Amino acid sequence: MSEVTIDRLPIPPQVKEVMYEKHIEKLWPPQVESIKAGLLDGESMTVSAPTSSGKTLIAELMITKVLLEKGGKALYLVPLRALAAQKLEELKKWERLGIRVASSTGDFDRYDRWLADYDIVVLTYEKCDSILRRRTTESWVTETNVVVADEVHLVGDRSRGPTLEVVLTRLKKINPEIRFLSLSATISNAAQIARWLSSKLVVSDWRPVPLRQGVYYGGRIYFDTGETVNVKHTGDEPVVDLALDSINRGGQVLVFASTRRQAESVAKKFTGKLSLSEVEKKELNDLAKKLGSYDELGPTHDELASLIKSGVAFHHAGLSFDARTTLEQAFMARKVKVLASTTTLAAGLNLPARRVIIYDVTRYEQGFGRIRIPVLEYHQMAGRAGRPGLDPYGEAVLIARKADDVEELLEEYVRSKPEPAEPQLLDELTLLPHVLSNVTSGYAADEQKLREFFSETFSGTLSSKPSMWRSISRSLKFLLDNSFLTDEGGYLLPTAFGRKTSEVYFHPYTAILVKKAANYGVSGVDRHSLHLVCLSVEVPKPRLGMKEKEDLSYEIDQEEDELPVSLEEYVETMMDLSPDPYEEYLGAWKAAKVLEWWVNEVSEAKIEEAVGVQPGDLYQLYTTASWVSRGIASLFQTLKSDRSLVKAYTDLSVRLESGVKSELLPLVGLRGIGRVRARQLYNSGIRTLRDVAEAPIERLTQLRGVTTQLALSIKEQASKLSSSV
């Protein structure tokens, strides 16, 4: 393929200038192929290529050309919040050209009219779905003329696939002229996705760094090329030998583990094993101090701070955002030599290493026991091998436990093509929220229109139409029977209850539970109110041990009469949706207990020590619970529940967001004031907004962490807020 340089591209000159500043002077093969297929000529595109092959630049070329020449907006859709943050940073380089970039990923029930002022908007799939449900109030969406769907192969994912399908289908409906750029990992049915989105297909297996793939056993790596490489045996486990072998050759190592516990265990194996210079030791000690400086450090972070001194770390979703960010920066700066991670890093975060070690090809899945990971997942992990511009090659190595496994692993993973993305929008339980939102948002007014819409989804183009029609009919019956919709002579109309359910982005089953609690009296006990929040489909339930189940069951027996939704009501409601509603009811009680501690200002460290809920999980729990609590208050208002109930859940939402008792609510409403500073203010006698407004600067700055600048800011905020009350 002939080389294509930036100066030859038919793109605005100011775009070329930005690319030159970023030292981009020529294109990689997948980028060249995309341009030849019509990327810059108005075509929609589906690009299926390996990790780190330059797909983001393909998106930037399309977006900047369209926005600078024609105007409009671009949506950049991603599956994960962390990936949204990464893409936002990457896209900010275009702001110097007057292209405004923003991101929104949470608060599914809140309006985002402010996004109308931006040209490129980065959204998670779910956030985009929630915005499209309010298209009459979020009219800026109709200005969209470019949509980038990152990781589009996730249409085959059970949890995220249905939402992604519906979002892309809706965007096609809103603007038939919209241009799609779908970016996919290498999958076997990329052509089906391309046909679905009426786009040109580019498939490439090119990588910027050559990839060698093999299986380790008995002191040797057996590569798929037939080459065998000896690895020095140090007396340690294979993973240690493999890592040290690469580090001694100047590389870094990523180890992918199947669980958090396994990732932590693998990292500990390297304690004291790496040879470090005095400079490296100092840098790592500074990193350990930085990790130790984060507020409310718990056992997991203690362990991490200790390990990082040895040049090794673990990375998973249980860590706080600050800790994960620090680790990622340290790994990119080559301060950390070995990073043991769960598959979070394989799902899009750009942290390559010379050698990637897949520690285990099995994982536990509820209801199925231990299962083999998909081939696609292996390829995503292997794709992280090799740092462009830094490594002469990348290596992905599986570990065999016995000699017979070597050939089996080579055949099953290295030589096999990734699985196709299978449609997931098939049964009535999956369809339910999307059928409801299509009616409430005005996309469909009768069953025929629903059929037409869903026939245009990815699942609809590949599945049996009669089967899908039956699922739609069953979904409609459920929504009509439970008063989400009414049928007025063949026309489907949303009830106030159904409309609000869709607006706050609740699953219909959650709304039914809320309806059952609509006449619940406020008990004044946080745990009782929180149990309803945690029973929702949206709030993650912690896994329980056998002894824990017994203890929780006993506690619930003592208090069930005072709970908003009884065990019997919950099981009756959820039996079609949940494989084990009884365990989920108990799990919701545990989650409620954790959140009760949180809103009563118990530290993250003490919560982790008491029940093992790590900071990252706690953050996910209380942010989700805050949104759900706010949605419950909205539904109670629609159902005309007692005002005290509406207020209780409205206040609870703010308390969950900030982790405070009720008396601190006025103070945490000030920007720059979190739970710790709010408690300091309150304990020093500054308890109301008026108190803050009237407090001398000198008094405020005596408090830990309150600078003169912050003191001036909160005084100004408090003055405005107190005068408007």
Helices (H) and strands (E) in the chain, counts: 32, 19
List of residues 6+ apart from 141 with CB closer than 8 A: 131, 132, 135, 174
Whether residue 86 is annotated as binding a ligand: the answer is: no
Q: Which pair of structure tokens corresponds to residue 461? A: 């183009």
Please give the Cα distance from 338 to 254 (Å, whole number). Answer: 6
In degrees and rounded to multiples of 5, residue 91 shows phi and psi of: -80, -15
Q: What share of the chain is helix, strand, coil (3-state, %, to 5)?
A: 55, 15, 35
Please give the Cα distance from 253 to 267 (Å, whole number). Answer: 11
Number of CB atoms found within 10 A of residue 85's CB:
17
Asked if residues 601 and 660 have their Cβ atoms less than 8 Å apart, the reply is yes
Q: How does DSSP classify residue 135?
A: T
List of residues 6+ apart from 166 with CB closer than 8 A: 129, 425, 434, 437, 457
Closest CA to 461 of 182, 169, 171, 150: 169
Closest CA to 476 of 494, 452, 462: 494
598: left (phi over 0), alpha (psi -120 to 50) or beta: alpha
List of residues 6+ apart from 449 with CB closer than 8 A: 438, 443
Please give the Cα distance from 612 to 366 (Å, whole number). Answer: 20
Please give the Cα distance from 220 to 193 (Å, whole number). Answer: 40
Three-class SS state of 503: helix
Q: Which residues are annotated as a binding site?
A: 31
Residue ranges of the binding site for ATP: 31
